[in-house]
Amino acid sequence: MNKHMRKALDHLWGPTGSVILHIIIVILLVNCLVIRDTGADAEVEITIREMEVIDIKDTPDIIKDIEDIDDMDDIERPRLEKEPAPDPSRFAKPEIEEDYSSLDIKSDFEGPLLLKDLFAGRTASERAEMLDRYSYKWGDVTEPAVLKALEWLKKHQIKEGDNAGSWDPGHGGHDKHVALAGLGLLAFLAHGETTGSEQFGETVLRSIEFLQRVQQDNGAFCALNQHGVYAHAIATYAISEAFALTRIPPLKDNMDRAVERIIAGQQPGGGWNYHYAAGARRDTSVASWQIQALKAAMMSGSDVPGIDAALKKAAYDLKSSYIAENQAFSYASGGASQCSTSMGVLCLQLIGFGRDDVVHCALDNLEDEKCSWSSSEQWAMYKWYYLSQAKFHSGGNGWKEWNSQFAPEFVNNQKSDGHWEPPVSDKGGHGDSAYGKAFPTALGALTLQVYYRILPTYKEQAVDKIEIDVDEIEDGVGVRII
């Protein structure tokens, strides 16, 4: 090879060799990045076997040793005897935490208004919770008794005619039909039954329609005679709770007009009397129903002027009827009784004076009261209706002891068809039997509903100190809230 050819090859090899070298490097890199096929896909072997059925005789010994579960009927229930139930350490006085400041009582009620916490105990789940919390197992036997009573009231309600929606008072006039329609309606409402209830809806509706039908232009549900002032207040109470639970718009007008009549009938001294008379006589029994009705209306959204002032004046009247040496509230202008004392305690609790000294002293006086069908006075069930609520509100040992008495006594003395007859001493058309069988039956149901029937009207609310100006007037005093 001559010198010129060697020189040409040297010049050519430089760039060519570089290109060849780079091609080799690229091939090696690609070769390293290639994902090689590993061969055939992996196979999964599935074996299907039939389920093996084991004969019960082949069950392991450890299972054979398990004892059979007892029948539910063997679960221990509260004893229906008159001795106290075991002391429930978990029992506590009902807590009062409701705040009603957000309730819009001036709305047009065009739709349902949620009254959360106002009606605790008026639904099945809440009722069960409160029975468990406050009855200490007595609810296992009292609640079936309540349902039997409601079934009896449903069956015996008058279905046709002018008094359709009420119950037969046995004898007496229109005012007794009004009172029974209101009292029976309260028993259903206390159980959360409304016009929409599947089981009792028609019964509730008939009672509401009866009360709407008989209300007069002046707001009264009947003639406001000696018995009529009771009947009017009971009907007002029932219509107020019916409005609160159903929010049926026309019921608000029925409620407000009835409330106006009660306020107009209040005496200057804060009490009430037969015929809504303004004389010197005042009556704790009459006043107790007016107070319950006003409290129910206020909590249900009535915006009639003067409800709050009327209740505060009523508190003054009740306190003025307290007899310190007897630790009791008088019935009228004269002597006191355990029945009128129970009324005075409950009504002051409702108004907001549950911690007042006179209430504590009166409760001490009621400490030894007994619930017994074999030895009782007239109007015993009427007294027990108030006493059960008063003791429930006060809580503590007084309530626990009373609870273990009245619950089994009421259950044991309920008739097999669901109604109650008053104690022996009341038979003969007097006392609790004066209004037929419906009156003691409704009272019995309401008394056994005390565990959950604390709202809307049965929650004690603390009130500010009341400043009262007392003026001397003819036939008594006049009370003015400052």
**Residue 431 maps to which CATH number?**
1.50.10
Structure confidence at residue 170 (pLDDT): 85
User: Which two tokens mark 119?
Assistant: 């009606």
What is the percent of the chain with per-residue pLDDT over 70, rounded to a whole number? Answer: 68
329/186 Cα distance (integer angstroms): 26
Residues 120, 94: contact at Cβ < 8 Å? no
Structure confidence at residue 428 (pLDDT): 59
Kindly state whether residue 362 falls inside one of the protein's structural domains.
no
Residues 149, 445: contact at Cβ < 8 Å? yes
Structure confidence at residue 109 (pLDDT): 30
Opening angle at CA 157, ends 155 and 163, nearest 5: 160
User: What amino acid is encoded at 88 in this protein?
Assistant: P
Question: pLDDT digit string (tens) for 302-325?
Answer: 999 999 999 999 999 999 999 999
364/78 Cα distance (integer angstroms): 27
Kindly state whether residue 424 falls inside one of the protein's structural domains.
yes
Kindly state whether residue 127 falls inside one of the protein's structural domains.
yes
Average pLDDT over residues 42-62: 43
Structure confidence at residue 91 (pLDDT): 32
Listed as own residue / partner, the contacts of 469-474 with beta carbons closer than 8 Å and 24 or more positions apart are 470/316, 471/268, 473/268
Kindly state whether residue 281 falls inside one of the protein's structural domains.
yes
Question: pLDDT digit string (tens) for 373-421?
Answer: 987 788 899 999 999 999 999 888 999 999 999 999 999 999 999 999 9
Query: Whole domain around residue 422: which residue ranges?
Result: 118-312+413-463
DSSP helix/strand/coil, 278: coil
By DSSP bridging, strand 328-329 and strand 468-473 are unpaired
Residue 478: pLDDT band (50, 70, 90) is low
Question: Which of 421, 452, 451 has the alpha carbon at shortest distance from 438?
Answer: 421
Residue 468: pLDDT band (50, 70, 90) is low
Structure confidence at residue 342 (pLDDT): 97
Question: Which of 408, 456, 149, 470 has the alpha carbon at shortest distance from 300?
Answer: 456
Average pLDDT over residues 203-220: 98
pLDDT averaged over the chain? 79
pLDDT over 80 at 260, yes or no? yes
Kindly state whether residue 244 falls inside one of the protein's structural domains.
yes
Structure confidence at residue 402 (pLDDT): 96
pLDDT over 70 at 225, yes or no? yes
Kindly state whether residue 254 falls inside one of the protein's structural domains.
yes
Question: pLDDT digit string (tens) for 348-378?
Answer: 999 999 999 999 999 999 999 999 998 778 8
177/189 Cα distance (integer angstroms): 18
Residue 477: pLDDT band (50, 70, 90) is low
Kindly state whether residue 296 falls inside one of the protein's structural domains.
yes
Kindly state whether residue 103 falls inside one of the protein's structural domains.
no
Residues 93, 456: contact at Cβ < 8 Å? no
Rg of the chain, C-alpha, whole Å: 38
DSSP 336: B
Enumerate residues 6+ apart whose C-beta is below 8 A from 106.
303
Residues 80, 143: contact at Cβ < 8 Å? no
Structure confidence at residue 84 (pLDDT): 44
User: What amino acid is encoded at 116 in this protein?
Assistant: K
Q: How many domains does the chain have?
A: 1
Phi, psi of 237 (to 5 degrees): -55, -50
Question: pLDDT digit string (tens) for 61-115?
Answer: 433 333 443 343 443 445 555 444 433 333 333 333 333 233 332 333 322 223 3
Average pLDDT over residues 3-14: 51
Work out the number of other CB atoms within 10 angstroms of the CB of residue 205. Answer: 18
Question: Which of 457, 460, 455 has the alpha carbon at shortest distance from 122?
Answer: 455
Enumerate residues 6+ apart whose C-beta is below 8 A from 43.
none
